[in-house]
Amino acid sequence: NAGVTQTPKFRVLKTGQSMTLLCAQDMNHEYMYWYRQDPGMGLRLIHYSVGEGTTAKGEVPDGYNVSRLKKQNFLLGLESAAPSQTSVYFCASKDPNYGYTFGSGTRLTVV
Amino acid sequence: AQSVAQPEDQVNVAEGNPLTVKCTYSVSGNPYLFWYVQYPNRGLQFLLKYITGDNLVKGSYGFEAEFNKSQTSFHLKKPSALVSDSALYFCAVRSYNTDKLIFGTGTRLQVFP
């Protein structure tokens, strides 16, 4: 089925560890986004990409890095995880008619 | 800068009654406006969008929203609420000249039987 797939779905990290979240879409969309969702704060944009090989900062980029080496994949990296990065992370892609499709999320806990 | 405000953290309504979830926005230029719904432990699902044209937009599950340019609002409405409508609702805005979709803080809708 066409859509946005996020892996992993759950992860627990120790402070200082690193990890990469993978987002894959099979809809040939140019635009992809990473958001984090925290209680009372809605979804905040971390980084986004307007096409293969491009990335740009969103509202809360600090502590995260991203890469878009292939059009269908958008990776979010945490180099040194902190408890403040405990959150639910959502990836999304945008079609030419302005529709945004979201993945099912990655629940990350940093202890 | 773009911003979205959802002034109500929670809206309570009895089943069968009309519901309104409020959203106001701030962007430069023409806005693209969206409503999404999130059920527990799920991702966001698209409800409806306003890009251009008729100010009244109809979407999924019987929801609709009215774009009001003078009040910079895009309130979500439904004539008759269902218990199954209980969820977290997000309003989002994007200016026509940016690539970023900005979300409000969300409103939890609780429909009581």
Average pLDDT along chain B, 113 residues, taken 10 residues at a time = 92 98 92 92 89 91 95 97 96 84 94 96
Chain B within 8 Å of A10 (Cβ-Cβ)? no
Q: From the CB of residue B19, how many other CB atoms can be counted at a distance below 10 Å?
A: 21
What is the model's pLDDT at position A41?
A: 86
First-to-last CA distance in chain A? 35
Q: What is the helix, strand, coil percentage profile of chain A, to 5?
A: 5, 50, 45
A29 touches chain B (CB under 8 A): no
B69, two tokens: 């340019």
pLDDT in tens, A12-41: 999 999 999 999 999 999 999 999 999 888
Closest partner residue to B42 (CB to CB) among A41, A59, A104 is: A104
Is A30 within 8 Å of A71 (Cβ atoms)?
Answer: yes
Give chain B positions within 8 Å (CB) of A43.
44, 90, 92, 103
- Report the distance separating Cα B10 and Cα A104, nearest Å: 23
Residues 6+ apart with CB under 8 A from B3: B25, B26, B27, B93, B102
The dihedral through the CA atoms of A41, B63, B39, B19 has a sign that is positive
pLDDT at A2 over 90: no
Closest partner residue to B102 (CB to CB) among A45, A90, A104 is A45
Distance (Å) from the alpha carbon of A59 to chain B's nearest alpha carbon:
9
**3-state SS assignment for residue A95:** coil
